Structure 1
Amino acid sequence: MKRDPPPPPPQPFFFFWGPPTPRGRGGGGGGGEKKKNFFCFFFFFFFFFFFFIWKRRGPPPFFFFGARTRTPPSPPPAPAS
């Protein structure tokens, strides 16, 4: 009966995109699919979180680094002579 090789030691620095291991990508011996799904869950969570805030309250003020600041009012048009 053949035993599996022991899992490689954990690589904390490469949590999602560690060097490939015999059991899949990701740090610490396998679980690459689980880590990828975890990452995707957070990506979509934040995406929908910001999307709904955007829909309810308009774009956040920090979004385009001050593109939403008020422009000064234009001067009144000169009277036509």
Structure 2
Amino acid sequence: MHEVSLMAEVLSIVETVAQEEGMVAVHKVKLVLGEGLLLMPDSLQFAFDILKKEPIADTATLEMETKEGRVFCVEYIEGE
């Protein structure tokens, strides 16, 4: 269930930035997810609900949007 570790990192970033910006509360966290990430929205929501313990985000809601994924390929050239 990699959704839990992913959400823990998302909330850590949200809380750090909120504190740096002098915010006292975050009301909504919006995630835009690529289709090919193989993430389960229900698991992300569950992880969000159990991990948002800090006072800054404890009443926040999670909004998720799925967009078409993009893939980039960097060509390997031998000898470079």
TM-score when normalising by structure 2: 0.29
Higher relative contact order (CA 8 A, sep 6+): 2
TM-score when normalising by structure 1: 0.28
Greater percentage in helix: 2
Of structures 1 and 2, the larger Rg is shown by 1
